[in-house]
Amino acid sequence: MLDHHGFDLWADGYDKSVGVSDEDNTYPFAGYKEILGCIYKAITEKPNPAVLDIGFGTGTLTAKLYENGCEIYGQDFSSRMIELASAKMPDAHLYKGDFSQGLAEPLKRQFYDFIVATYSIHHLRDDQKIVFLRELLDHLKDDGKILIGDVAFGTREELNQCKEESEVEWDDDEFYCVADELRAVFPNLVFQKKTFCSGILMLSR
């Protein structure tokens, strides 16, 4: 697994790396643009929402939301990612922090219309995901939603099939969401499958 130094080094080429995988419809970023587009559409249907982006990277999604009038908050553990995103969103509220340890302190003081995590939450083990998602739910406004776009599967069997087919490309240091298993803890979780290896998970209070 990359630490924050690894992501600092990867930051400048990140968008290109993702694009190649998406265009080739290969694991892990098959469906990336479609997923971001769906999340963007869901958020922009609400006027001027407050949006928290967990692991915002170079700001691919949040910069578009920022341009559309959203109030942007974010947390990432890469200084270089924050630098690149800040250049696109000078008035956004961006903080450095390892979300395996929870939210950065300034972000705990706010409530959000949407909390998004695109291709970031897979860095948390399954038990850590549950703890963190519970924390995020506590920071939603009454009609707020958590939107997770990521490598994700409906069942453990689907995950294992993708792992077998991906062979050497599979990253054993990442922990992908399995909707059926998360639904045992969060009964109202909704999963929209987008490709053989990706989808959108939605949670509300």
Domain boundaries, the chain: 4-204
Place of tokens 């109030």: 71
DSSP assignment of the chain: ---HHHHHHHGGGHHHHHHHHHHTT-TTTTTHHHHHHHHHHHHHTSSS-EEEEET-TT-HHHHHHHHTT-EEEEEES-HHHHHHHHHH-TTSEEEE--GGG---GGGGG--EEEEEEES-GGGS-HHHHHHHHHHHHTTEEEEEEEEEEEEEESSHHHHHHHHHHHGGG--TT---EEHHHHHTT-TT-EEEEEETTEEEEEEE-
Burial 73-102 (b: 16+ CB within 10 A, else e): bbbbbbebbbebbeebbeebbbeebebeeb
pLDDT at 13: 42
β 190-195/177-178 pair status: unpaired
Would you write out the chain's pLDDT as a tens digit for each of its 205 residues? 434 433 333 334 445 444 444 467 889 989 888 888 899 999 999 999 999 999 998 888 899 999 999 999 999 999 998 999 999 999 999 999 999 999 999 999 999 999 999 999 999 999 999 999 999 999 999 999 999 999 999 999 999 999 999 988 999 999 999 999 999 999 999 999 999 999 999 999 8
Residue 205 CA from chain centroid, whole number: 18
pLDDT of residue 23: 63
Which superfamily does 4-204 belong to?
A: Vaccinia Virus protein VP39 (3.40.50.150)
With a threshold of 0.85, does the pTM exceed it?
A: yes
What pLDDT is recorded for position 29?
A: 87
User: Which is nearest to 56 in space by CA: 34, 20, 83?
Assistant: 83
| Pair of tokens at residue 159 | 């995950």
Q: How many CB atoms neighbour CB 22 within 10 A?
A: 20
pLDDT of residue 171: 93
Identify the pLDDT of residue 200: 98
Of 112, 113, 130, which Cα lies nearest the Cα of 121? 130
